[in-house]
Structure 1
Amino acid sequence: MRTILVVGGGYAGFYTAWKLEKKLRRDEARVVVVDPRPYMTYQPFLPEVVAGSVEARHAAVSIRRHLKKTKIISGTVVKVDHAHKTATIRPAEGPEYALAYDIIAVTAGAVTRKLDIAGVADQAIGMKHVEEAVAIRDRMLTNFDRASTLEPGPQRRRLLTVTFVGGGFSGVEGFGELLSLATALARKYPELEESELSFHLVEARGRILPEVTDKPGEWVVRSLEKRGAHIHLNSVLQSAENGHVVLSTGEEFDSDLIVWTVGNAVSPLVRNHTDLPVDARGMLSVRADLQVGTDEAFVPDAWGAGDDAAIPDLALPGSATVPNAQHAVRQGKLLAKNIVASLRGREPKQYLHHSLGVVATLGLGRGIFQWRGIVIKGFPAWVMHRGYHVLAVPSWERKVRVLFVWITAALFGRDIVSLASVQHPRRAFVTGGEVPALPETTVPLEHAPSA
């Protein structure tokens, strides 16, 4: 029985394996998925996880719960030798080992793009995974508690200052949702004034949300500024050492919470550790039928999809598909069909998907939608955003859970309890209940020393 290796359990990988389970005949092939996380992150929900509108667990779809016939390996593929059809696996525990396969589907996904800017590695938090979204939310809630005990001054301003670096979809959505949460929180703290909140969005280009056209993008800027936000266009972050933000425009300010949403980079596996062909950007070279290779020749038994694959966009000739959920989900579904077709001696189909438009949340009750020349703003767009994503999240179980959380929040408001202490579960045990003194400046949760 042949082995189909799926590298990565993100959108494309999860849907590839899920559909393969349904389409493969008994004993036709076995499917193996390798991923270090036991879940697929539904990334469009991360901004709402940041704001507390969606429970963190509900933005994570369990791989084992839904892939019941697939062998799941908790680990990372660190090398692919397709010439010998072996992949080197680094498991969560134990030494590395080689795994033989017959067919490989590379859906490793992208990683957060990092730039060598002083202080970013020590101070910033990304927003690509559930744990990062939870950390951002808990930091914001904890900072309100800390600021409420201080007199007005530099430290209080620092705690109430938030900086997002990157004005793409994830950055703007996270920024708008966290601003919405902070504005609502201010009403719960009589010691604080809403005017003390300072939210900064830094973007190197002259506009935000490149996925929409100019006028809708300008409307989003105006909408955020009316809510008190500071939008820094044509600005580059030069330093963030010790939380002191320095911009290329000469502006400087202290910020306790810095969120890094600059964009994605190709997976190191695809770029550096495989003998499969890649393009000038280091992305996997993939044809429109999702086979690895070029129009002139393909690599037998090698397939690719998702954010790390350069796939021709047949709906926009001359360009490649953009790395977003719309494409990754549909590519994963087609990839499963094409692999099964190839096993049965049939020709694979080409990937063609016309965009359904773009929709973004900008905070509770606010959003924007654009499809070609049609633009919808405000509350209707926000409803469309929620409607689309509750339908798109995999499995009815997740859809129902998310719907109930939204209904509960509508009736009783968002939960505003910070669980930052779970980052150090042994602290109370070790200290015997004594509360340790807080540091002068807050270290990001993932870099904080353990108890």
Structure 2
Amino acid sequence: MPKILIVGGGYAGFYTAWKLEKHLRKGEADVTMVDPLPYMTYQPFLPEVAAGSIEARHAVVAHRRHLTRTHVVTAKVTGINHAQKVATITPPVGESYEFAYDQIVVTAGAVSRTFPIPGIADNAIGLKTIEEAVAVRDKLMSNFDKAASLPAGPERDRLLTVVVVGGGFAGIEAFAELRSLASSLLSKYPQLRFEDTHFHLIEAMGRIMPEVSLKTSEWVLKDLAKRGASVHLDTQVQGAEGGNVQISTGEVIPSDLIIWTAGVMANPTVVRGGDLPVEERGRIQTRADLRVGTDEAFVEGAWAAGDVSAVPDLSGGGVGGYCVPNAQHAVRQAKRLAKNLTAVLRGEETKNYFHKNLGAVAGLGLYNGVFQSGNIALKGFVAWVAHRGYHGLAMPTWERKWRVLWGWWHNLWLGRDLVNLQTVQNPRYIFEEFAARPRPAADAAPAKPAVTPPAEKRTGEKTAETPAGEKAAAAK
């Protein structure tokens, strides 16, 4: 029975395994999926998780619950020797080992792409994982708690200042959702005013959201300005040391929350640790039928999809001729890959991946959004409904769909959940603070115990002597 190894359990990897379970007959192939996390993250929901509009656990899909015929391995693939068809798997505990396969599917996704700017690595946070989204939400809410106890001044301003770097869809959605969260928090903090909160978006290009028309992006800019947000176009970050964001205009913005969304890159651990062909942008060279290789020749037994791959966009709408790294392409590529891989195992022909972009939709906070499809543009509440409708249906499995929809329904009547659980990132703090510890052993010989002198006999009092028998008992 041929062995199929799927490297990565994100959107593309999960869907590939899920659809292979549907297409493959029992006993036709043995499928193993390796990922360091036990769940798939639905990344379009991360801005709403950061804003408290979606429960964090509802934005992920557990591998072991929904992949019933796939061997799920929670570990990292740290090396691919496709010449020998062997991958190196490194588990969180224990020694690394080699795994032999017949077909490999690389869907390791992407990570935040940063630049060697002083202070960014130490002070900023990305928004590519569910853990980062939760940390951003809790950080903002904790800063409100701290600022409410401080007088007006530089320290309070720093705590209430949010800086988002990157004006693409991810950055704009995160920026707008956090602005919406901050506005809703103000009603709970009478000590703070709207003017005390400061939101800055920094974008190196001369416009935001290149996925939509210029007219639509300008509407978004005006909408953000109405909500008190500052957008810095044609501006680069030059430093972020000590939480002081230095930008190319010469301005310095002190901030306690710096969010980096300025681009992604293919997972370097997998790409650099293997011998599969890589194109100039660091992605695995992939054909239109999702096989690794070029139009002239393909690598036997190797496939790729999602953000880690450079897949030709046959619709003609891709940047540089390739599909852009987004969830819309990842899920559709995974579905086509599963069909093509099944066809190869049965000696049948493959089909090319073709998908014309349906448009772009973004949430800009509660009851506000933007939608663009061709020349059609929707804004405001209608676009927000389209945003939630599209992503609610796109969430994999009905079990997860129901959890998300049920949470939205509750929030409609009860309001967004404003519980701050930042201390969950250090759950032992209260136990450690009060836990009893053994006293350190003394280096020198123990000193003789101090003897309490007997109380002096008062005038007119008699001192009772302890009988000899009681003294002996006390000595024992």
TM range (shorter): over 0.9
For residues 283 and 330 of structure 1, the distance between their equivalents in structure 2, rounded to whole angstroms, comes to 18
For residues 239 and 396 of structure 2, the distance between their equivalents in structure 1, rounded to whole angstroms, comes to 40
Deviation at 1:412, TM superposition (A): 1.0
Deviation at 1:26, TM superposition (A): 1.2
Deviation at 1:420, TM superposition (A): 0.3
Q: Secondary structure at the match of 2:331?
A: helix
Q: Paired residue for 1:344?
A: 346
For residues 419 and 37 of structure 1, the distance between their equivalents in structure 2, rounded to whole angstroms, comes to 21
- How many matched pairs? 433
Q: Paired residue for 1:2?
A: 2
Question: How do residues 287-302 of structure 1 correspond to structure 2 at under 5 angstroms?
Answer: 287-302=287-302
What does the per-residue CA deviation read over 1:16-52, in whole Å, with 9 as the maximum and x for residues that have no partner? Answer: 0000011111111110001000000000100000111
For residues 353 and 276 of structure 1, the distance between their equivalents in structure 2, rounded to whole angstroms, comes to 25
Q: Paired residue for 2:430?
A: 428
Deviation at 1:150, TM superposition (A): 0.6
User: Which has the larger displacement, 270-279 or 242-251?
Assistant: 270-279
For residues 89 and 413 of structure 2, the distance between their equivalents in structure 1, rounded to whole angstroms, comes to 48
**Of 406, 409, 414, the match for 1:407:** 409
* Residues 1:360 and 2:365 are matched in the alignment: no
User: Which has the larger displacement, 178-187 or 272-281?
Assistant: 272-281
For residues 99 and 392 of structure 2, the distance between their equivalents in structure 1, rounded to whole angstroms, comes to 37
For residues 10 and 110 of structure 2, the distance between their equivalents in structure 1, rounded to whole angstroms, comes to 10
* Residues 1:222 and 2:239 are matched in the alignment: no
Q: Paired residue for 1:334?
A: 336
Structure 1 unaligned segments of length 5 or more: list them.
434-451
Amino acid at match of 2:28: E
What does the per-residue CA deviation read over 1:358-382, in whole Å, with 9 as the maximum and x for residues that have no partner? Answer: 0001111110000011110010000
Question: How do residues 193-208 of structure 1 correspond to structure 2 at under 5 angstroms?
Answer: 193-208=193-208
For residues 408 and 54 of structure 1, the distance between their equivalents in structure 2, rounded to whole angstroms, comes to 10
What does the per-residue CA deviation read over 1:134-192, in whole Å, with 9 as the maximum and x for residues that have no partner? Answer: 00000011111111001111111011000001111111101100000001111111110
What does the per-residue CA deviation read over 1:173-231, in whole Å, with 9 as the maximum and x for residues that have no partner? Answer: 01100000001111111110011110000011111111112111111111101100000
Question: How do residues 14-413 of structure 1 correspond to structure 2 at under 5 angstroms?
Answer: 14-316=14-316, 319-413=321-415
Q: Secondary structure at the match of 2:306?
A: coil
For residues 351 and 185 of structure 2, the distance between their equivalents in structure 1, rounded to whole angstroms, comes to 51
For residues 271 and 100 of structure 2, the distance between their equivalents in structure 1, rounded to whole angstroms, comes to 21
Amino acid at match of 1:197: T
For residues 109 and 414 of structure 2, the distance between their equivalents in structure 1, rounded to whole angstroms, comes to 38
Kindly indicate whether the alpha-carbon contact (under 8 Å) linking 2:199 and 2:229 is maintained by their aligned counterparts in 1. Answer: yes
Amino acid at match of 1:241: E
For residues 127 and 28 of structure 2, the distance between their equivalents in structure 1, rounded to whole angstroms, comes to 39
Q: Secondary structure at the match of 2:362?
A: strand
Amino acid at match of 2:382: P
Q: Secondary structure at the match of 1:111?
A: strand
Kindly indicate whether the alpha-carbon contact (under 8 Å) linking 1:270 and 1:284 is maintained by their aligned counterparts in 2. Answer: no
For residues 265 and 372 of structure 1, the distance between their equivalents in structure 2, rounded to whole angstroms, comes to 27
Q: Any runs of at least 4 consecutive aligned residues in structure 1 with deviations exceeding 4 A, and if so which?
A: none
Kindly indicate whether the alpha-carbon contact (under 8 Å) linking 2:77 and 2:89 is maintained by their aligned counterparts in 1. Answer: yes
Deviation at 1:115, TM superposition (A): 1.0
For residues 42 and 379 of structure 1, the distance between their equivalents in structure 2, rounded to whole angstroms, comes to 23
Kindly indicate whether the alpha-carbon contact (under 8 Å) linking 2:78 and 2:270 is maintained by their aligned counterparts in 1. Answer: no
For residues 269 and 83 of structure 2, the distance between their equivalents in structure 1, rounded to whole angstroms, comes to 16
Q: What is the TM-score of this pair, normalised by structure 1? A: 0.95
Deviation at 1:276, TM superposition (A): 1.2
Deviation at 1:269, TM superposition (A): 3.5
Q: Secondary structure at the match of 2:188?
A: coil
Q: Secondary structure at the match of 1:245?
A: strand
Deviation at 1:432, TM superposition (A): 2.3
For residues 312 and 82 of structure 2, the distance between their equivalents in structure 1, rounded to whole angstroms, comes to 23
Deviation at 1:257, TM superposition (A): 0.6
Amino acid at match of 1:119: G
Amino acid at match of 1:283: R
Q: What is the TM-score of this pair, normalised by structure 2? A: 0.90
For residues 431 and 276 of structure 1, the distance between their equivalents in structure 2, rounded to whole angstroms, comes to 51
For residues 330 and 194 of structure 2, the distance between their equivalents in structure 1, rounded to whole angstroms, comes to 40
Deviation at 1:304, TM superposition (A): 0.8
Deviation at 1:355, TM superposition (A): 1.1
RMSD of aligned alpha carbons: 1.0
Q: Secondary structure at the match of 2:150?
A: coil
User: Which has the larger displacement, 276-285 or 335-344?
Assistant: 276-285
Deviation at 1:271, TM superposition (A): 3.4
For residues 76 and 201 of structure 1, the distance between their equivalents in structure 2, rounded to whole angstroms, comes to 35
Deviation at 1:270, TM superposition (A): 4.5
Amino acid at match of 1:401: R
Q: Secondary structure at the match of 1:187?
A: helix
For residues 98 and 213 of structure 1, the distance between their equivalents in structure 2, rounded to whole angstroms, comes to 49
For residues 270 and 414 of structure 1, the distance between their equivalents in structure 2, rounded to whole angstroms, comes to 38
Q: Paired residue for 2:466?
A: none
Amino acid at match of 1:416: L
Q: Secondary structure at the match of 1:354?
A: coil
Kindly indicate whether the alpha-carbon contact (under 8 Å) linking 1:270 and 1:278 is maintained by their aligned counterparts in 2. Answer: no
Q: Paired residue for 1:442?
A: none
Q: Secondary structure at the match of 1:104?
A: strand
What does the per-residue CA deviation read over 1:65-117, in whole Å, with 9 as the maximum and x for residues that have no partner? Answer: 11111111111111111110000111111111110000001111111102111
Amino acid at match of 1:13: G
Amino acid at match of 2:221: V
Kindly indicate whether the alpha-carbon contact (under 8 Å) linking 2:24 and 2:342 is maintained by their aligned counterparts in 1. Answer: yes
